[in-house]
Structure 1
Amino acid sequence: MARRRDVVAGLAALPLLSFSIAGNVPASAQEGALQGDVIATENGDITIHPVEHASLVIGFGGEIIYIDPVGGAALYEVLPAPTAILITHGHGDHFDVPTLEAIAGTAPILTNQDVFSKLPDALKGNASAIANGDQTSLNGLVIRAVAAHNVTDDRLQYHPVGIGNGYVISLGDKLVYVAGDTEPTDEMLDLRDIDIAFLPMNLPYTMTPDQAVEAINVFKPKIAYPYHYGDSDLSVLEKRIGPDTELRLRNWYPNGQG
């Protein structure tokens, strides 16, 4: 998965270290349309659609990938139906059976073993589990599971080793990393050639902004999105991430909660 690749013009042309705040889907959004950042690949555009907290939707060609969809069906009713669903782990802000029952349809679900064991039979038939470090294909997209867990001794209770997944998704010539709930694991720090990274940063459950800065400056994603950040002060990232990474701040809490 780690490999040298040329960055296509669409991404290379993006300004480094540009900071902006954007809202989520406007009330007037056309039904079935994704709203958000568009990033070019050699095989078509990626659309990044924040939903709330740790939930997001990624569009790529005909694929609509829901990641950790929670919060009830109403949050997703104006969006296109999922063609695939990724779930990082079993905490309630990442995994919610009623939401899945309302929106999943027949979309395949990829998750960890803990979540798989908790799925109702109607969803389990379209689901599969993947362990840290394993790789699979979902609708023709290559997906690798990356270890997601705490590393600080007094936080290991929140996300023990070997349970949660992050995911690296190959979309055209781009690699997208969704970290899940984690601090900087060895596996995260060993990542290379990541084009887009979604990184959580709120205490006591995930990284601090300082940890996120250190991780970003080690594995150097081309674009970094803070998500699952609660009330964390993200100005630390604005000041300290290196020139290899563009920071994109987006509003994951449209109602003001953090």
Structure 2
Amino acid sequence: MKITFLGHAVFLIESKKSIIIDPFISGNPAFPIDFQLPQIDYILVTHGHGDHIGNTVELSKKFNSTVISNFEICNYLQKKGVKNVHPMHIGGSKEFDFGKLKMTPAVHGSGIIENDEIIYGGNPGGFLLKMEKSIYHAGDTGLTKDMEFVKGVDIALLPIGGNFVMDVDDAVKAVEIIQPKIVIPMHYNTWDIIKADAEKFKILVEKLDVQCKILKPGEWLEV
């Protein structure tokens, strides 16, 4: 299994199938310019904000991908011409051909901004993927005790940028709760408002005997 960080909260997971999470590509200053996406089988969208729903419509049409998100976002995407959607909601789980997927709680917003209007985007969430390894993408979230339900995952992808999401200190507390084998920080340094010190995060996390992998956009981890 190969996990590639593509800046902000975008991750490409390549295993039996290719999965991209929160495909914010156009307008993403952290997206690696020369990176070429492979065939994308599934697109996972944690919530409706533009820096997460991103290029979902275009990619789903280009690759004939199946989009997995909450019911409201799937309904919105269908109106945009997306043919293949699989709606879920918080706490729901489903077996797919790549493994088992569960939607997890996130403490955040989910409004979709269009023509200066805010469209209801349902509840924000995260994703717990159980494949060869278990991967938890927390989505945009503050620290929450709900993270106890994903305790012991192999790999946790956690925001550390503060302001809109957990800061470094709260993300360290999240690691204490989750106790993953490996943690990868995300959602930081895309813009100044979410500037964070990933090296400080790494030092604090590794004091907990958890391995921290800081990936630059375009770098990957093979597990």
- Tell me what 1:220 maps to: 179
- Tell me what 1:178 maps to: 137
Which 10-residue stretch deviates more, 68-77 or 186-195?
A: 68-77
Of 140, 148, 157, 1:189 maps to 148
- Give the total of aligned pairs: 198
CA distance in structure 2 between the partners assigned to 1:239 and 1:196 by the alignment = 17
Contact kept, 8 Å, 1:111 with 1:128, in 2: the verdict is yes
- Tell me what 1:63 maps to: 17
Q: Give the partner amino acid of 2:17.
A: E
Contact kept, 8 Å, 2:128 with 2:150, in 1: the verdict is no
Of 126, 129, 136, 2:87 maps to 129
CA RMSD, 1 decimal: 2.7
TM normalised by structure 2 equals 0.79
Q: 1:171 to 1:53 in 2, by over 3 A?
A: same
- What are structure 1's unaligned runs of at least 5 residues? 1-45, 151-155
- How far residue 140 of structure 1 moved from its aligned partner, in angstroms, is 4.5
Higher alpha-carbon Rg? 1
- Tell me what 2:161 maps to: 202
Contact kept, 8 Å, 1:210 with 1:236, in 2: the verdict is no
- Tell me what 2:107 maps to: 149
CA distance in structure 2 between the partners assigned to 1:77 and 1:223 by the alignment = 25
CA distance in structure 1 between the partners assigned to 2:218 and 2:5 by the alignment = 9
- How far residue 190 of structure 1 moved from its aligned partner, in angstroms, is 3.1
- Tell me what 1:53 maps to: 8
Contact kept, 8 Å, 1:81 with 1:103, in 2: the verdict is no
Contact kept, 8 Å, 1:84 with 1:138, in 2: the verdict is no
Of 44, 47, 51, 1:93 maps to 51
CA distance in structure 1 between the partners assigned to 2:19 and 2:74 by the alignment = 18
**Helix, strand or coil: the match of 1:70?**
coil
| Cα deviations by residue, 1:20-68 (Å, 9 ceiling, x for unpaired) | xxxxxxxxxxxxxxxxxxxxxxxxxx101111211110001x3100111
Q: 1:142 to 1:47 in 2, by over 3 A?
A: same
Q: Give the partner amino acid of 1:167.
A: F
**Helix, strand or coil: the match of 1:125?**
coil
Which 10-residue stretch deviates more, 216-225 or 236-245?
A: 236-245
**Helix, strand or coil: the match of 1:52?**
coil
Contact kept, 8 Å, 1:148 with 1:165, in 2: the verdict is yes
**Helix, strand or coil: the match of 2:152?**
coil
Identity %: 26
| Cα deviations by residue, 1:63-94 (Å, 9 ceiling, x for unpaired) | 10011112239969722111111000000100
Q: Give the partner amino acid of 1:235.
A: E
CA distance in structure 2 between the partners assigned to 1:227 and 1:87 by the alignment = 15
- Tell me what 1:234 maps to: 198
CA distance in structure 1 between the partners assigned to 2:171 and 2:163 by the alignment = 14
- How far residue 217 of structure 1 moved from its aligned partner, in angstroms, is 1.4
- What are structure 2's unaligned runs of at least 5 residues? 112-121, 190-194
